Amino acid sequence: MAFGIADLSIIPVRKEQSERSEMISQILFGELFEILEITDKWLLVRLQVDDTEGWISRDMYLPVTDEYAARYTEEQPMLTTEVFNIVTKEGDYGNKLIVAGSVLPFFEAEKQHFSIGEDSYTLVTKPRNVGMDSLRELIIEYALKYYNAPYLWGGRSPYGIDCSGLVQMAYRMAEMKLPRTVTEQVNCGQNFSFIEEALPGDLAFFGDETDVTHVGILWEQNRIIHASGRVRVDRVDHQGIFNEELKRYTHNLKVIKRMIVE
């Protein structure tokens, strides 16, 4: 069994072995993956965070030992929560810019040190204490960090993100693990019937008569944070999402789910 880790800010994960192929997800800095197959130019990988499988370029990763991967898996990950963060690699030139949700393996808080494979890094950006009183407030705080980020199919970063990526990353930074896609996320949590019962951080799913195609994070006062064109805040009710700019409903409500057990 072979493993790799992202030492780039973002690695595209493709559906097939081509730069023109659909991007189905992204690997963020410090995320570990298992290597399932190797070809001349591509690796078939499985992400440790959510079991997503896809192809990445062989030029875009750092191999790590089985021992490193085992220690990594046993550790509670330290994630960046600022939109953008600066890290430096020992012996390298300049800084690296990494995004929210990146992993800092084996982080030493006192020295701000961590390691990617055999390379030593320092976090230059100082982590900010968000000072939230509850897990629900924390999820909303993290979701709003992506406000106005452009929509990008398969995206998981402030440079571009899709609807399920926004949900996954907001929950992940709050130390809650969710699957990658809408069709997987809708099978998690607890159903309830009325949007009036929703609490901040609950999820609303939208679609047509047969398929669930969209998800967003419910907020207070009948508002929802979601990625549609960009990460935005819209009104939501029992019918669906109402876009004030377009003056019409854009998504039909199907189900409301509660992921946080209280």
CA distance 226 to 204: 10
Residue of 113, 163, 188, 251 marked active site = 163
Distances (CA, A) of 27 to 19, 129, 150, 217: 15, 25, 18, 22
Residue of 113, 188, 214, 238 marked active site = 214
Chain centre to alpha carbon of residue 150: 14
* Known active-site residue 238: no
Of the candidates 170, 136, 167, 159, the one whose C-alpha atom is nearest the C-alpha of residue 230 is 159
Of the candidates 201, 247, 245, 244, the one whose C-alpha atom is nearest the C-alpha of residue 224 is 201
Distances (CA, A) of 3 to 67, 158, 172, 226, 244: 10, 26, 22, 33, 47
In sequence order, which residues have a C-beta less than 8 Å from that of residue 110 and are 6 or more positions away? none
CA distance 15 to 60: 16
* Known active-site residue 214: yes
3-state secondary structure of 38: strand
Of the candidates 259, 260, 262, 258, the one whose C-alpha atom is nearest the C-alpha of residue 195 is 258
Could you tell me if 15 and 54 are in contact, meaning their C-beta atoms sit under 8 angstroms apart?
yes
Residue of 113, 188, 226, 238 marked active site = 226
* Known active-site residue 226: yes
Of the candidates 7, 54, 16, 10, the one whose C-alpha atom is nearest the C-alpha of residue 152 is 10
Catalytic residue IDs = 163, 214, 226
